[in-house]
């Protein structure tokens, strides 16, 4: 096995359990537009491809004007409540501290809107662990597009094949493949293990400690 030299993490479902705050923001936006609410289980299945995709899945028959309004309302609600219930998963902070103590550069790449990535990390006191944090800006460049992952590896002066890209969804595994990186799937996130296994990640880990072992 090649010893990795850097880590890129997904955010939601990988580092933090944010499902309740995301669902609350989406339902608040649906209330604003007098549209039917959705349940937590559905939101769990829909997250991972960015806020516009989440809103389209909540209202698949809506026109683009309605979807745009829904995105704006959900983002406004979420901006004010992004860490009401969101917390790091157990042992995540200890893992990040240990990886940093090994001198490893760390980054976050998320399909969550960029300003909300920063708000979440700062609100939880987690920004200190990462050299870079990138969120959704352009639909064409969201994961599984490898552009941002490759740029981060370049900024780290690290070959992509020496970078672990760690996430909880098939989208993250595909991003790693597209970037030529080591694909690490986590079992504690929003997706079923069967979905992850179908994508054949290089590693499927069941605890943050198993991530640390990749660097030993």
Above 80 in pLDDT, residue 2? no
Looking at residue 138, what is its pLDDT? 87
Q: What is the mean pLDDT of residues 132-160?
A: 95
Above 90 in pLDDT, residue 50? no
Looking at residue 143, what is its pLDDT? 96
Above 70 in pLDDT, residue 1? no
Active site residues: 10
Q: How many CB atoms lie within 10 A of CB 118?
A: 17
CATH number at residue 36: 1.10.150.240
Q: What is the mean pLDDT of residues 144-148?
A: 97
What's the distance, CA 34 to chain centroid?
29
Using pLDDT thresholds of 50, 70 and 90, give the confidence band for residue 3. Answer: confident
pTM of the entire predicted model? 0.94
CA dihedral angle for residue 176, residue 13, residue 195, residue 70, rounded to 10 degrees: -100
CATH number at residue 173: 3.40.50.1000
Write the pLDDT tens digit of every residue in 23-49. 999 999 999 999 999 999 999 999 988
Total structural domains within the chain = 2
Residues 25 and 101 grouped into a single domain = no
Run of H or E residues at 20: helix 19-32
Above 80 in pLDDT, residue 186? yes
- Half-sphere exposure in the Cβ direction for 44 (13 Å, CA): 10
Structural domain of 134:
6-17+86-213
Q: Is residue 121 part of a domain?
A: yes
Residues 10 and 32 grouped into a single domain = no
Report the C-alpha gap between 174 and 10 in whole angstroms.
Answer: 12
Report the C-alpha gap between 146 and 111 in whole angstroms.
Answer: 12
- CA distances 48 to 54, 138, 164, 176, Å, are 8, 15, 19, 15
Q: 185: phi > 0 → left, psi -120 to 50 → alpha, else beta; which?
A: beta
DSSP symbols for 156-201: TT--GGGEEEEESSHHHHHHHHHHT-EEEEETTSSS-HHHHHHT--
Compute the mean pLDDT over every residue in the chain, rounded to the nearest whole number. 95
Q: What is the mean pLDDT of residues 134-145?
A: 92
């Amino acid at each position: 096995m090649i010893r990795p030299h850097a880590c890129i993490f997904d955010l939601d479902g990988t580092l933090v359990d944010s499902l309740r705050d995301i669902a609350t923001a989406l339902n608040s936006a649906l209330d604003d537009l007098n549209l039917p609410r959705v349940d937590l289980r559905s939101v769990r299945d829909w997250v991972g491809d960015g806020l516009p995709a989440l809103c389209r899945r909540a209202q698949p028959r809506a026109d683009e004007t309605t979807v745009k309004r829904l995105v704006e309302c959900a983002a406004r609600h979420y901006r004010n409540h992004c860490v009401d219930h969101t917390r790091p998963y157990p042992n995540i902070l200890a893992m990040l501290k240990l990886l940093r103590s090994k001198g490893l550069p760390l980054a976050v790449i998320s399909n969550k809107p960029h300003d909300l990535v920063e708000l979440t990390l700062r609100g939880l006191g987690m920004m200190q662990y990462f050299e870079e944090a990138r969120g959704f800006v352009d639909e064409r460049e969201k994961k599984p597009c490898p552009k941002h992952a490759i740029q981060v590896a370049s900024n780290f002066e690290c070959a992509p094949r020496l970078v672990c890209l760690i996430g909880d969804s098939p989208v993250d595994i595909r991003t790693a493949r597209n970037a030529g990186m080591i694909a690490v799937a986590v079992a504690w996130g929003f997706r079923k293990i069967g979905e992850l296994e179908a994508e054949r990640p290089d590693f499927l880990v069941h605890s943050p400690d198993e991530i640390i072992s990749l660097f030993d």
